[in-house]
Chain A
């Protein structure tokens, strides 16, 4: 009979145990879904900035949930209270769960104290997307920037997070850099905590 099988039926989502999670999800399924997300929003906005903002908001919701779930599942219920701690959490744990690998690099900005950059040679969301010339500086990595902002904001480190293309010599496609600019209060608290 269809439906009667090894899977136990739960009456409510709260009864179901929090799973370890499937390690892999179909790449093509995700690429199609993300492409549809971008196209859906494209028809509903008037300009590029609005499109980027919508992608970022979509990512923000993901980030908030990813933070709670990963801290509970992978970090044994320990919160991050320091700046470097939360940055390395994003750079390794979050990236590993979302993209299957740790981010290529984490750098501190040279010009400003409050800027940090996470770079990725071939960001998953940009892999199958090419930006037409008339869209200027639009970057679909805004979705990932939103995820990072959701994680940082939830953990108590408000920041402005944006995605940029950085052309690299030797690489055909530019690498994507997620730029994180922390709010003033974060730096003040870090200084206070010593």
Chain B
């Protein structure tokens, strides 16, 4: 029960932070937006791409450089997925290879 609640809470916090990202994205031309929202001891960090695709990370530690590098590498992977003409921009990414690579990056940087 505890774990289920936690997962739903995480999703809720991330979605609630989306509004903040919308406004913040127009104030700067940088892609990495650092920590934009806090909830108890959890922090939401966001990276916005040129096409306004948002990478959001919910975490508890404070490792800004690691998180920035993580986002940059995920961005490159995302561009490679996007260049596939058969991928509809904005749809779910179903590649298991992509999943494996992102998890490996997470282990490396976070």
A residues at B contact (CB < 8 Å): 12-14, 16, 18, 61, 64-65, 67-72, 75, 77-81, 85, 154-156, 189, 193
Is the pair B51, A68 in contact by a Cβ cutoff of 8 Å?
A: yes
A65-B83, A69-B79, A72-B79 are contacts. A78–B51 as well, Cβ < 8 Å?
A: no
Is the pair A78, B31 in contact by a Cβ cutoff of 8 Å?
A: yes
Is the pair B80, A13 in contact by a Cβ cutoff of 8 Å?
A: yes
| Residue among A18, A189, A193 with max Cβ neighbours from chain B (10 Å) | A18
**Quick one: which of A18, A79, A193 contacts B50, CB cutoff 8 A?**
A79
Name the 6 nearest CB pairs between A and B, nearest first: A71-B50, A154-B51, A78-B29, A77-B31, A68-B51, A12-B97
Q: 9 other contacts beyond A64-B82, A68-B50, A72-B79, with CB at 8 A cut-off?
A: A14-B97, A64-B89, A68-B51, A68-B78, A68-B79, A71-B50, A79-B25, A81-B26, A154-B89
- Interface residue total, chain B, C-beta cutoff 8 A: 30
B residues at A contact (CB < 8 Å): 25-31, 48-53, 72, 75-85, 89, 95, 97-98, 101
Is the pair B80, A16 in contact by a Cβ cutoff of 8 Å?
A: yes
**Quick one: which of A18, A67, A69, A189 contacts B26, CB cutoff 8 A?**
A189
**Which residues of B are found within 8 Å of A13, using beta-carbon distances?**
80, 84
**Which residues of A are found within 8 Å of B82, using beta-carbon distances?**
64-65, 68-69
**Which residues of B are found within 8 Å of A71, using beta-carbon distances?**
49-50
